[in-house]
Each structure stands twice: as structure tokens, then as C-alpha cells.
Amino acid sequence: MGSGKELTVCHVITRLDKGGSAESTRLTVVGLDKRRYHVVLIKGLGLEFAMSHLENESVTRDLQFAEDAGVKIITLPELVREVRPLQDLIAGIKLYRLFRRLRPDIVHTHTSKAGVLGRWAAFFAGVPKIIHTPHGHVFWGYFGKIRTRFYILVERLTTMFTDWIVALTDKEGADYIRYKVAPTEKVITIHSGVDLEKMGTTSVHSEKVRSALEIGENQVVVGTISRLTSIKGHKYLVEAAQKIVASVSQVVFLIVGDGSLRKALEDQVEQLSLSSYFRFTGWRPDIPEMLSIMDIFVLPSLNEGMGRVLVEAMAVGKPVVGSDVGGIPDLISHGQNGLVVMPRDAEDLARALTELIKDRSLRERFGNSGRTMAKAFGVKAMVDKIEVLYQQVGIR
């Protein structure tokens, strides 16, 4: 073990982009007390998922900031998110060698792929304590039954030598227990932290942003922010929009983010003759500004570890609508700060959004309640709880 004054902690993640799991990991490694921890971040290149020039620039700045804050960063090109047997084998061997050389007291892995490779490498390298944060699991919503069962089996085996599973919400932790992946005593909930100060420092006037996106003064903006992949459920939002515009004309749907499904979604919008109602912005660095022009925030995901973007929306006083999956119900108290709808159900989603579009006072009430609730999800609260966990495992 490390000295009583400093523990060496290695964090492992496949892709460091501007997504929720990467942001949470970045905020953790930067926020850890460098007087008590020697922090190493091991990451992949993430080249299998093309980032825009702006997103890449933002990630580069984040990495430089982390290094300036005392985080040692190591890049393994073979550490990728997709299953690639040869690269996975090489990545596992390289992780094993790194752990043997660095001799960390704790290895803390993030997301499923890095979690499997990193924990097995740590186990064979004799790392004393191993922690894993799934940032959402793959027990449903992603794959077919056979493949899902295989991944659950792999997780069960890997959890045998994992000291703690850090769930982002109580619901996520309950799933690990329900699927018999981890026993109750190994599961702890630590919410993903959000930079609440950053969310409240936007100086751009909403009118200017709306004008740039050709959104009328009287139009209600229903917006979402996420990578454009099937698991985020955007297609159901498009289907719901078709139903909504039949009774509400003064509405615009704002899709912020990029990904492999952008072209398919744009085609779906065009085929349904909804192009005048939709704005696709691609990836944007100015998330607080984007949220500022939204009247309603929606997250129609099919699976979600926590949905930290919901907290960001709540922090700037927006009513939220989300699917009844993963950790979303832990963030949205139905009828208090937003509405929870059934996943894959465009009818239910349309009903909830229409209710809020037509009722401004309800939007304001939900938004005010959400702003208060968001205060419990600050970065400091997350880092403090992680440090307590590290001290517990580090002194056993």
C-alpha cells in the first residue's frame, strides 16, 4: 500500500469526450485532493467515434487543465469502447504492465469496457483495491438476449474481485443487485457531480441565441442534449413531435449533439414534413446558453445511468421530461420538477410535452422546484464522497 499520506489512484476510461461519463471522470480526477492522492488517468484515443473540431478542442483544453491540476495522463491507443479482440488483448496486457510499474493502491475503472479490461488487469497485477463506476449498465436496452446474458456473466465474474461498485443512482445500484451481478454490501451510490457554478454563469442573452437559430419570440422550445445514438431515443421524440404539432403550432424542437444517427434523424424529420419545426445544431461548447433558450428539456432515453444533463437543465430552472429507465426516475419527481414517461412510447411522450407546452405556469413551477433539487448534485459533494470511499478501502 502507499504511504499514510498519499495513495496512488489510477482511473481508467476508454473515451474521454464531452459525454456524461467522461465529464464525471474528468471532474473527479481534477477534484481529488493532490496532497492525499497521486492521480493517474489512463484513457483511450476515442478515434472510433469521430468528434467535431470544436469538441476535440474542448477535450484538449480539459486534458491540459487536468495536467495543470496535477493529474498524470497516459493514453493507450488500443483502449477502445467497441469489442475488438486483438486490441482488447493488447490493451489488457498494457494495463497489466502499467499497474505493475505504477503499483497503485486503488484502480478505479469507468464504463463497461474499461471496467472489464481494467479490473482484470488490476487483479492479475495484484492491485490491492479495485473500484468500478459503470456510468449506466448494459443489462437491457443495448443488445439482444444472448449477448446481454453473456455481458451479465462477465460482469458477475469481474465483480467477484471488485471491492466496490459505485452506482450513480439508487436505481442503478438496485439493478446490479437484482441481476445478481453484485451483492448489496459491494454497492454504493455516489451521484455524478455537475459544475453548478458553470451552469449559472452564462452571460449570453437568450434572445440573441434564439435569433441565431431562427426561433421566433413566441415559440416554445423543446430541447435535448446528447450524443445522437439509438440508446438516447431521439426517434421517439421525432414521432412525438408529429403528434404535438397537430395541436400546437408555436413549438420548435432543438436537438443539440452529434453522432452516428444524425443523418437518419434528419431524414426522419424530413419524411414526416417536420423540418420547419426542428433545429439540429451539432455538438456545441456553450451548453449553458443552449439550455437558456429551452422552455422544456426532454431526455427520451432507452437506458440511462443517471442522466446528468437533466441536473444541468434543472440547475438553470428548466422543467424536465424523461423516460422511466435507469436513474432518470431518481432525478425526476413526477409532478414536482417534471414528468416521467414510458420509454419507446411516442404517445405518452407527446402527451407530457403537450401538457407543458400549453401550461406556462406549470413549466415555471417545475423549473423552480428543479433548481432547488439540483443543488444536491454539485462536484464537491461527489468528490468528497469518493475520497471517503478511497480512505475506507485504502486503510483496510
Task: Choose among 89, 141, 86, 80: nearest CA to 112.
Answer: 80
The reply to whether 113 and 229 lie within a common domain is: no
Query: So what's the pLDDT on residue 2?
Result: 44
Res 17: pLDDT = 81
Do 371 and 387 reside in the same domain of the chain?
no
Which pLDDT value is given to residue 341?
A: 98
User: Which pLDDT score is estimated for 326?
Assistant: 86
- Residue entry with cell 432547488: 372
Please report, as a single letter, which amino acid is at residue 223: G
Reported pTM:
0.88
Q: What is the pLDDT of residue 203?
A: 57
User: Is 238 found in the same domain as 99?
Assistant: no
Helix (H) or strand (E) holding 73: strand 72-75
User: What values do phi and psi take at 312, rounded to 5?
Assistant: -60, -45
d(CA 347, CA 300): 12
- The H or E element containing residue 217 is none
Kindly list the distances between the CA atom of residue 309 and the CA atoms of 249, 315, 327, in Å, as whole numbers in the listed order: 27, 10, 12
| Domain total in the chain | 2
Which pLDDT belongs to residue 198?
Answer: 79
What is the CATH number for 281?
3.40.50.2000
Q: What is the pLDDT of residues 25-83, one digit of tens each?
A: 999 999 999 999 999 999 998 765 667 788 888 888 999 999 999 999 999 999 998 88
- DSSP assignment of 29-62 equals HHHS-TTTEEEEEEE---TTSPPPHHHHHHHHHH
Domain of 364 in residue numbering reads as 196-377
Q: Looking at the domain assignment, is residue 1 inside a domain? A: no
Task: Give every residue of the chain whose pLDDT is below 50, as ranges.
Answer: 1-3, 396
